[in-house]
Amino acid sequence: MLAIRLPEDIERRLAKLAEKTGRTKTFYAREAIVSHLEELEDTYLAVSRAKRPKKHWTQDELEAELDLDG
């Protein structure tokens, strides 16, 4: 369970959106968190990999590995 406090203007906007669409404020808060969480996870994964790079392949190595020469 998560409880958050929002600035009044954000709370009002969320309430208006919920009222106009027939959805709950919780629905939109959950959607926003899930969407942003995926972006954050991708960002941190990219940063982590950039700090600790693994093996790098050349184009020729990749083509040979995937047997793209036919």
Is the pLDDT higher at 57 or at 46?
A: 46
In terms of Cα–Cα distance, which of 13, 7, 57 is closest to 66?
57
What was the pLDDT predicted at 69?
66
Residue type, 10: I
What residue spans define the domains of the chain? 8-53
CB-based contacts of 69, cutoff 8 Å, min separation 6: 63
pLDDT tens string 3-52: 999 999 999 999 999 999 999 999 999 999 999 999 999 999 999 888 88
